[in-house]
Chain A
């Protein structure tokens, strides 16, 4: 290692940090950079998106791992696991670890992610700085430990109560139900996925949930956690108390009430924060060019008050895709420098896709307006078929999707996703997009020519003439006309022509 090489320190070892580190490894191997990554969890980075699958036993810890500390260390990266950063001293460019030692840095990257929101329920401590764990039988389904608790409940086919009707809550509920647990979803508002879909889609999704045997309690306000004696006599969650309704009983409460960026370390270092750590379009913290933030903890909001991208910003997106793009971009920035890096493009509004087997929901953008609402410049079309669990809404401006919802129409949802992400114009006949899942979507025959035998190029007339002249078997037709001598796919048609000829009139 070149002693003068810059030292990059990454706080956090989640999937976004892991991507950044992977991209920086070549520079470390070349001796151009020293790199230290500091993670609080004992486990190496894993794909948090799949924690619910892990929690219902559909996948393994090994399969969701996205980083190998041993491999990184062999490449020259220092990987500190189970280590907590106590504070950042920006003046001296040092981070101090909880157990005492400090590290100097040239560049410091916050990839501290987010932590689940603990709602203010009686019996729970909502303080994000709280060190006391959640009570027994209550999890937030964020980490590997949470997944293990859920797996136990699913294996015992217990009643699982999911608090929150957002995408992560529904995914956990559907997966747990599919794998055998009894599930109740408790949520605010009239329907689930409240922020992403409209009432029509909400009805359609609710029907799909009911059809799977999931109990849904809508318009509910949870007020407290009731504890009872667990299986081994230790107090554990027994019911979720609601305001103005009966308590919902269960053996496990899964909190799915959103996440909050982890900014306290940055705040303690005097960095500007809003919903997340504030960074500019180079992911650089305000007024400190040595500090960066990426992923769930970062909020891109530059100092230019006229910047349209930032004015429209809604804080950290909480999605892995944009985080990975930031990690890739920052790696290029840190290795090649500002001059070489193209500006980081602003993220489009994300597409929400429910990860659930047999319940296809995709939505994006603004979907509140209906077809007859008078919103200037917005054209909205809707297809609703509740009996068959299908619902599609497309809102366009100048023909380009401003928002969409697709429920129960997998191919339509997939194509609308592509069209939304490309900013492509929709066909004038919107109904064409509704037929992609139908049996008539594929052309009757890709070959419009009338050849019965494509391979040898033989028409039906030629074959019928051969039959009329005495050919009565497929080999005889083949010998006379070459029909049926290629792929053999037309042999059935040849037999049919023979039978038609010899059939009594």
Chain B
């Protein structure tokens, strides 16, 4: 009776069964939401977290948008018909193109879109809109690790091995990843490492994940924010100097060792301690546990956003990969390196053309052969495909400047983009903003036109999970009257814009085209089809036609010509675009996720059980920092810097370093953490610096007593 599908939230994509409450299967606002049950699957083994358990609450949510909404001159959004809405968009696109050229129309996609939608959105932007200006919120998640993976291995797949390979490992090093909150069922796969005393967590905060290292289960390294790169160079140094490197592997499967060895010679452990605050003995123990694990049972090194979301995120991920390569982990039987993808389709979403510099199949848009292949599948001249566009932060900075009409799909940039105050100003400078969503998010509220779209359990499609395995999402319930698939919207708009090629509203038809477009590319999906997925085939890309996929990459060779991995020397830049930290009374602000919420909170803040558990943002602050500022546990605080001001309540805890603050980024308006984050980016990946902002913190809300209530009401 129930429908087998996968969770709408994170990249673990826990398997679940969705069973409509009523026999009719119609979930309307009055009906009970469908029942959710965990389903046995290698990744989640039947487990779900609180977000997954409550995910069906949103299907029949009373706040659901069920009509296109046009904003009137009075600023009020009012329902209009679909034909009117689509005609209006087409006219607006034509007008913008005539006035300013095709690149004045921009598109912003999301890592939560299915493969079909991500693929067709890239095609829609380039052929129907004729613009190069498309990028997506995955630029904020995966771009640094992707850039590092590509330059080291010649290919970027989050985990180049199935998650269950971690089960037998003796050592797992987690860098900047709080899996116990962000993907709780994943923690099952760390049991082996914990039992062996080999779980090592690097985080400035004593996270729930870090707490899993207690009682002899492993080590917690608590570096000062923005010092991950020196920390990793120090670990590489120790591996080389203590003779822990796997010399056979280095000689047989890599190039560049000598340059890397030279570059880390200057990062001896005491120097690293002085920069990071991590004692030398913990650095040495970490290196030794990794080396020991590599010889006994397996060692894995996994990165998360904590080390990647920096202006030197690509170099930090590269240093991590260098460490893994020195130890001989990647491509070996029971060890490896991986990055833990964040968003539900953060993997598939970065492979099929949503990215400013890519075409389907993880092809480079600047590569003539790639352009010719995709143009042939699309039935157009290669010259009709625009060149590379702008990465997300640069694209958002162009809103109302060179970009005048803008489409947003599956992203809530008013909350989730760095320096959100500037992004909001950019949205307000636009001539015309179209937002496709199912709730009136903070971004949708800024739209001239909001288009209601379908939720995860209302449509067919595929996503690619963190291990590169393609999964089927299935329709379990009937969507509300008035909401439409984004595929249908793109098809209708393409027709109105006289676009070349074809645009289908049918997911399987689009997937069939995606397979052809990806064939021969790095992320080759040509051997995957719905029928195979529907009988339970476990297919990991690359999966050329006729193959059974590649669960484990790099076993025989890396993806560079010649098959060798490349060790790339990296070092901290003499100067970079990061905020200057720790001047005067400032503290370093780190942002991140909570178990109860997801991304901008657009969905989870609307789930009563989750919003009830964590209704507001709380600033985590060390008792010493709180005491010197007169801040009480549970009291109001104001966090500010040159970019913005956040007001929320304080949670006083020794879980965070005394020089560091933690603020979750799920909340909006005066609690929006991204009002404080910087839009400075990594020069290679375009990844913004989310994880080290300089701020001041003061007790109170900065609102005079008596005026507070009135002020809060107006928000």
Q: Which residues of A contact B (CB under 8 A)?
A: 15, 46-47, 49-50, 53, 58-59, 62-68, 71, 320-321, 324-325, 328-329, 332, 351, 353-355, 357-358, 360, 362, 410-411, 413-415, 417-418, 421-422, 424-425, 427-429, 432, 441-443, 445-449, 454-457, 482, 485-489
B613, CB-defined interface residue at 8 Å:
yes
B655, CB-defined interface residue at 8 Å:
yes
By the criterion CB–CB under 8 Å, are B47 and A486 in contact?
A: yes
How far is it, in angstroms, between the C-alpha of A328 and the C-alpha of B265 when the chains are bound?
17
Number of residue pairs spanning A and B whose beta carbons lie under 8 angstroms apart: 170
Q: Chain B contacts of A332 at CB under 8 A?
A: 574
How far is it, in angstroms, between the C-alpha of A447 and the C-alpha of B655 when the chains are bound?
9
By the criterion CB–CB under 8 Å, are B259 and A68 in contact?
A: yes
How far is it, in angstroms, between the C-alpha of A114 and the C-alpha of B624 when the chains are bound?
44
By the criterion CB–CB under 8 Å, are A353 and B208 in contact?
A: no
By the criterion CB–CB under 8 Å, are A67 and B262 in contact?
A: yes
How far is it, in angstroms, between the C-alpha of A104 and the C-alpha of B481 when the chains are bound?
84
Known A50-B268, A446-B653: A455·B595 in contact at CB below 8 Å: yes
For residue B535, give the distance in angstroms from its CB to the closest CB of chain A: 27
How far is it, in angstroms, between the C-alpha of A410 and the C-alpha of B280 when the chains are bound?
8
A65 nearest in chain B by CB position:
B262
By the criterion CB–CB under 8 Å, are A353 and B624 in contact?
A: no
**B interface, how many residues as a size bin?**
35 or more
* Closest A-B pairs by Cβ, 9 of them: A487-B187, A410-B279, A486-B184, A455-B184, A427-B624, A59-B241, A487-B184, A422-B582, A353-B270
Q: Interface readout for B211-223 with A: 1 if CB under 8 Å, 0 if not?
A: 1101000001000
For residue A331, give the distance in angstroms from its CB to the closest CB of chain B: 9
Interface contacts beyond A66-B262, A457-B596: sample of 4 additional A-B pairs, CB < 8 Å, sorted by A: A50-B265, A65-B262, A413-B279, A429-B624
How far is it, in angstroms, between the C-alpha of A329 and the C-alpha of B184 when the chains are bound?
47
A415 nearest in chain B by CB position:
B277
By the criterion CB–CB under 8 Å, are A488 and B53 in contact?
A: no
A417 nearest in chain B by CB position:
B274
By the criterion CB–CB under 8 Å, are A456 and B628 in contact?
A: no
By the criterion CB–CB under 8 Å, are B280 and A441 in contact?
A: no
B32, CB-defined interface residue at 8 Å:
no
How far is it, in angstroms, between the C-alpha of A427 and the C-alpha of B574 when the chains are bound?
30
B180, CB-defined interface residue at 8 Å:
yes
For residue A322, give the distance in angstroms from its CB to the closest CB of chain B: 13
Q: A417, A427, A428, A455: which contacts B50 (Cβ < 8 A)?
A: A455
B284 nearest in chain A by CB position:
A357
By the criterion CB–CB under 8 Å, are A58 and B241 in contact?
A: yes
By the criterion CB–CB under 8 Å, are A50 and B187 in contact?
A: no
How far is it, in angstroms, between the C-alpha of A362 and the C-alpha of B574 when the chains are bound?
25
How far is it, in angstroms, between the C-alpha of A226 and the C-alpha of B188 when the chains are bound?
67
B627, CB-defined interface residue at 8 Å:
yes
B289, CB-defined interface residue at 8 Å:
no
How far is it, in angstroms, between the C-alpha of A50 and the C-alpha of B188 when the chains are bound?
42
By the criterion CB–CB under 8 Å, are B184 and A62 in contact?
A: no
Q: Chain A contacts of B654 at CB under 8 A?
A: 441-443
How far is it, in angstroms, between the C-alpha of A309 and the C-alpha of B651 when the chains are bound?
42
Known A410-B281, A415-B277, A456-B48: A68·B262 in contact at CB below 8 Å: yes
By the criterion CB–CB under 8 Å, are A421 and B274 in contact?
A: yes
B50 nearest in chain A by CB position:
A457
How far is it, in angstroms, between the C-alpha of A426 and the C-alpha of B205 when the chains are bound?
20
Q: Could you list 7 examples of A-B contacts with CB < 8 Å? A: A360-B281, A414-B273, A414-B274, A415-B277, A446-B208, A485-B48, A486-B50
How far is it, in angstroms, between the C-alpha of A50 and the C-alpha of B53 when the chains are bound?
55
By the criterion CB–CB under 8 Å, are B279 and A53 in contact?
A: no
Q: B211, B258, B265: which contacts A445 (Cβ < 8 A)?
A: B211
B280 nearest in chain A by CB position:
A410
Known A427-B624, A486-B185: A454·B208 in contact at CB below 8 Å: yes
B101, CB-defined interface residue at 8 Å:
no
A449 nearest in chain B by CB position:
B613
Q: Chain A contacts of B504 at CB under 8 A?
A: none
By the criterion CB–CB under 8 Å, are B241 and A71 in contact?
A: no
Q: Chain B contacts of A49 at CB under 8 A?
A: 268
Q: Chain B contacts of A488 at CB under 8 A?
A: 47, 185, 187-188, 191
For residue B145, give the distance in angstroms from its CB to the closest CB of chain A: 23
For residue A487, give the distance in angstroms from its CB to the closest CB of chain B: 3
For residue A351, give the distance in angstroms from its CB to the closest CB of chain B: 6
By the criterion CB–CB under 8 Å, are B585 and A486 in contact?
A: no
By the criterion CB–CB under 8 Å, are B277 and A414 in contact?
A: yes
How far is it, in angstroms, between the C-alpha of A448 and the C-alpha of B208 when the chains are bound?
11
By the criterion CB–CB under 8 Å, are A487 and B185 in contact?
A: yes
B659, CB-defined interface residue at 8 Å:
yes
Q: Which residues of B contact A (CB under 8 A)?
A: 38, 46-50, 53, 180, 184-188, 191, 205-208, 210-212, 214, 220, 224, 240-242, 258-259, 261-262, 265-266, 268-271, 273-274, 276-282, 284, 574, 582, 585, 595-596, 609, 613, 624, 627-628, 651, 653-655, 658-659
How far is it, in angstroms, between the C-alpha of A415 and the C-alpha of B660 when the chains are bound?
13
A445 nearest in chain B by CB position:
B211
By the criterion CB–CB under 8 Å, are B624 and A489 in contact?
A: no
By the criterion CB–CB under 8 Å, are B262 and A355 in contact?
A: no
Residue of A46, A411, A427, A486 most packed against chain B (CB within 10 A):
A486
Q: Chain B contacts of A353 at CB under 8 A?
A: 270-271, 273-274
A440 nearest in chain B by CB position:
B654
How far is it, in angstroms, between the C-alpha of A65 and the C-alpha of B180 when the chains are bound?
41
Residue of A425, A485, A487 most packed against chain B (CB within 10 A):
A487
How far is it, in angstroms, between the C-alpha of A422 and the C-alpha of B273 when the chains are bound?
15
Q: Chain B contacts of A446 at CB under 8 A?
A: 205-208, 210-211, 653, 655
For residue A362, give the distance in angstroms from its CB to the closest CB of chain B: 8
Residue of A67, A441, A489 most packed against chain B (CB within 10 A):
A489
Q: Chain B contacts of A454 at CB under 8 A?
A: 180, 184, 208, 595
Known A360-B279, A422-B582, A446-B655: A489·B53 in contact at CB below 8 Å: no
How far is it, in angstroms, between the C-alpha of A358 and the C-alpha of B582 when the chains are bound?
30
Q: Chain B contacts of A320 at CB under 8 A?
A: 266
How far is it, in angstroms, between the C-alpha of A189 and the C-alpha of B268 when the chains are bound?
30
B624 nearest in chain A by CB position:
A427
How far is it, in angstroms, between the C-alpha of A45 and the C-alpha of B493 when the chains are bound?
64
Residue of A58, A332, A421, A455 most packed against chain B (CB within 10 A):
A455
How far is it, in angstroms, between the C-alpha of A405 and the C-alpha of B212 when the chains are bound?
33
Q: Chain A contacts of B266 at CB under 8 A?
A: 15, 47, 66, 320, 324
By the criterion CB–CB under 8 Å, are B265 and A46 in contact?
A: yes
Q: Chain B contacts of A329 at CB under 8 A?
A: 574
Known A58-B241, A417-B274, A457-B50: A442·B220 in contact at CB below 8 Å: yes
Q: Chain B contacts of A411 at CB under 8 A?
A: 277, 279
By the criterion CB–CB under 8 Å, are A355 and B268 in contact?
A: yes
For residue B33, give the distance in angstroms from its CB to the closest CB of chain A: 15
Q: Chain A contacts of B188 at CB under 8 A?
A: 487-488
By the criterion CB–CB under 8 Å, are B655 and A443 in contact?
A: yes
B194 nearest in chain A by CB position:
A489
By the criterion CB–CB under 8 Å, are A418 and B659 in contact?
A: yes
For residue A485, give the distance in angstroms from its CB to the closest CB of chain B: 5
B269 nearest in chain A by CB position:
A355
B187 nearest in chain A by CB position:
A487
How far is it, in angstroms, between the C-alpha of A58 and the C-alpha of B238 when the chains are bound?
10
By the criterion CB–CB under 8 Å, are B53 and A482 in contact?
A: yes
Q: Chain B contacts of A486 at CB under 8 A?
A: 47-50, 184-185, 187
Q: Chain B contacts of A425 at CB under 8 A?
A: 585, 628
For residue B222, give the distance in angstroms from its CB to the closest CB of chain A: 9
By the criterion CB–CB under 8 Å, are A355 and B270 in contact?
A: yes
Q: Chain B contacts of A63 at CB under 8 A?
A: 240-241, 261, 265
A325 nearest in chain B by CB position:
B574
By the criterion CB–CB under 8 Å, are B574 and A328 in contact?
A: yes
Q: B262, B268, B277, B595: which contacts A417 (Cβ < 8 A)?
A: B277
A23 nearest in chain B by CB position:
B574
Q: Chain A contacts of B46 at CB under 8 A?
A: 485
B573 nearest in chain A by CB position:
A328
How far is it, in angstroms, between the C-alpha of A487 and the C-alpha of B627 when the chains are bound?
35
Known A49-B268, A58-B241, A414-B278: A65·B261 in contact at CB below 8 Å: yes
Q: Chain A contacts of B259 at CB under 8 A?
A: 68, 71
Known A68-B259, A414-B277, A441-B654: A457·B613 in contact at CB below 8 Å: yes
